[in-house]
Amino acid sequence: MRLSRRSEYGLRALTDLVRSGPGTTVPLGTLARRNNLPPKFLEQIMATLKRGGIVGTTLGARGGYAIAGDPSTISIGRVIRLLDGALAPLGCVSLRFYEPCSCPDEATCALRDVMLDVRDATLAILDDQTLTDLAAREGRAEMDPRGIHAEAIAGRRP
């Protein structure tokens, strides 16, 4: 259930770009240094983001990357799908990257049923939150801001 580094780095870089202000182009080196990300790997990622129409580039000296279009129309989900493929926990519940899974009959598969719910819960966030929203977040220091995981924090093993 983990997010790949690819997406993690990509989203960090995009956040930086959005925060740099509309139309600002930032060179790869700066992007990498400021967010301490491996430069060459980030280059790959940015290439994909470009192919996906999420960023644009300007060549040559004083060139760099900039958000293409309005960041408030680009969802986090879209970015992750572009970089990683499916978002759904199981291939058989993926809307855009469907593939059959091991159960004999999907229509009566209990596991699929739960994962459908999980998918919807995560998509409700990731397809709703845009790059603008992301960049506007200030972060929270706590591990359990809503105080709903007291047991886990206490070290109990449920």
29 binds DNA (CB under 7 A): yes
The conformation of residue 92, written as its DSSP 8-state character, comes to G
Q: Smallest gap, in angstroms, from Cβ of residue 115 to DNA?
A: 14
The interface with DNA within residues 9-28 (CB under 7 A) comprises: 9, 27-28
Interface residue with DNA, options 1, 21, 23, 62 (CB under 7 A): 62
Burial (Cβ within 10 Å: 0-12, 13-18, ≥19) of residue 130: buried
Q: Smallest gap, in angstroms, from Cβ of residue 59 to its own copies?
A: 27
Residue 59 interacts with, from DNA, its own copies, none (CB under 5-8 Å by kind): DNA
Binding mask 94-133 for its own copies (x = CB under 8 A): -xx-x--xxxxxxxxxxxxxxxxxx-xxxxxxxx-x----
How far apart (Å, rounded) are the C-alpha atoms in residues 86 and 80? 8
Residue 11's DSSP bridge partners are none
Contact 158, 152 (CB under 8 A): yes
Q: Which structure tokens are listed for 72?
A: 């408030």
Q: Where does residue 156 fall: left (phi above 0), alpha (psi -120 to 50 degrees), or beta otherwise?
A: beta
Q: Smallest gap, in angstroms, from Cβ of residue 140 to its own copies?
A: 6
Residues that bind DNA in the complex, under the rule CB under 7 A: 4-6, 9, 27-29, 38-41, 43-44, 46-47, 50, 57-65, 84
